[in-house]
């Protein structure tokens, strides 16, 4: 594998810090890792997995000589900086939603559509966390049986709202009088407690009553599966869980199936682990799966009213596979070419 110079933009954030850790842990073949954030963090030192990173303020010239730049500093920063990095010769792997629906930008989960990586023109988009986790589980079903329709309800961790979302849950648990300031959406006027609560809003609503997060699950799924006509409907809910997203997924398949065939397809799928033994109360739970790389599937049941209908319960660490790990895996694939 060739050696490269790497930058992580947003290195002090939930995703950026995880990403730095993964680069170290997976021995990413980097001769240099530049850790970038806003001016307020310049000079700050991060100790991650035995390595020290000194944060630099992100500027266009920060990307000179960089081969791969992981962007995790928010959509507006990506829009302002990505072309600057590309101009200087870097491939940008972008964690934000800035370019995901751009037809010129491939949107990739390596277990789902790795072939799209080579279509990039300098930017590759990393999908939304709930979509990544769902598609790692559904890709083998699409491959073996064909997906007819997807209905999904999510139970999303506070880490999806970044470091501030995680701090808000901790603060509310410690202090019942704490006034929420971040969830459901930091920029909106109303905030609700997440401790001992569920919030049926992730991001802003559109005129039809769906949130942006729900639309991401629809549109990004259609793009990655190359099926713009595929029926997908989503309800996304914030729950008082630290960092794993859980999803109750109902799919209708194009072919008849047995549950053994479904489990075999899952067992052979990369990045997916079957955890399904109801008799012994074995099923995926978010608390158990923090910091795990794989996505877990359980509660695998046929819809008794529809022989091609299937119910699943899927859980994955959303900072890891839902964001940082998926981005690093895209980077690893790039280096194989």
Which of 24, 64, 75, 263 touches ligand NAP (CB under 6 A)? 75
Q: Does 194 bind ligand NAP (CB under 6 A)?
A: no
Q: Do 58 and 77 form a contact (C-beta atoms < 8 A)?
A: yes
Residue nearest to ligand NAP (CB): 13
* Crossing angle of helices 14-25 and 162-174, rounded to 10°: 110
Closest separation in Å from C-beta 227 to ligand NAP: 23
Binding to ligand NAP by CB under 6 A, coded x per residue (else -) over 89-108, reads: ------xx------------
154 contacts ligand NAP (rule: CB under 6 A) = no
DSSP-derived 3-state class of residue 311: strand
Q: Is 41 in the site for ligand NAP (CB under 6 A)?
A: yes
What is the nearest approach in angstroms of ligand NAP to the Cβ of residue 12? 4
CB of 267 to ligand NAP, least distance (A): 27
How far apart are CB 330 and ligand NAP at their closest, in Å?
13
Tokens of residue 329, six digits? 């895996």
Q: Give every CB contact of residue 231 below 8 A, 6+ residues apart in sequence.
A: 148, 149, 150
Give Cα separations from 222 to 39, 113, 135, 263, 325 (angstroms): 38, 12, 11, 24, 22
**Positions marked catalytic:** 129, 245
DSSP 225-274: TT-TT-EEEEEEEE-S-SSEEEEEEEEEESS---HHHHHHHHHTSTTEEE
160 contributes a contact to ligand NAP by CB under 6 A:
yes
Q: Is 331 in the site for ligand NAP (CB under 6 A)?
A: no
Give the binding site for ligand NAP (CB under 6 A): 10-16, 37-38, 40-41, 58, 72-75, 77, 95-96, 129, 159-160, 162-164, 318-319, 322-323
């Amino acid at each position: 594998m060739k050696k490269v110079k790497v930058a992580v933009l947003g290195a002090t954030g939930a995703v950026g810090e995880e990403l730095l850790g993964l680069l170290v842990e997976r021995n990413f073949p980097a001769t240099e890792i530049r850790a970038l954030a806003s001016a307020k963090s310049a000079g700050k030192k991060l100790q991650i997995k035995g390595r020290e990173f000194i944060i630099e303020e992100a500027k266009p010239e920060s990307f000179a000589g960089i081969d791969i730049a992981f962007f995790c500093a928010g959509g507006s920063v990506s829009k302002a900086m990505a072309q600057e990095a590309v101009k200087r010769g870097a491939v940008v792997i972008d964690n934000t939603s800035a370019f995901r629906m751009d037809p010129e930008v491939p949107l990739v989960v390596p277990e789902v559509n790795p072939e799209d990586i080579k279509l990039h023109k300098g930017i590759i988009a990393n999908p939304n966390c709930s979509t990544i986790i769902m598609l790692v589980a559904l890709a083998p079903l699409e491959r073996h049986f064909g997906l007819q329709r997807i209905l999904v309800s999510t139970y999303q961790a506070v880490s999806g709202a970044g470091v501030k979302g995680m701090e808000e849950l901790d603060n509310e648990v410690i202090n019942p009088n704490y006034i929420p300031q971040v969830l459901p959406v930091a920029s909106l006027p109303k905030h609700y407690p997440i401790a001992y609560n569920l919030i049926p809003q992730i991001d802003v609503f559109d005129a039809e009553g769906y949130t942006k997060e729900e639309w991401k699950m629809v549109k990004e799924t259609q793009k990655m599966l190359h099926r713009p006509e595929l029926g997908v409907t989503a309800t996304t809910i914030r729950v008082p869980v630290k960092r794993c997203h859980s999803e109750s997924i109902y799919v209708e398949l194009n072919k008849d199936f047995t549950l053994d065939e479904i489990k075999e397809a899952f067992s052979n799928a990369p990045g997916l682990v079957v955890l399904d033994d109801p008799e012994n109360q074995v099923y995926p739970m978010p608390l158990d799966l923090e910091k795990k790389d794989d996505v877990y599937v359980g509660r695998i049941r046929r819809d008794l009213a529809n022989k091609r209908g299937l119910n699943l319960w899927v859980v994955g660490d959303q900072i890891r596979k839902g964001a940082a790990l998926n981005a690093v895996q895209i980077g690893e694939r790039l280096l194989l070419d």
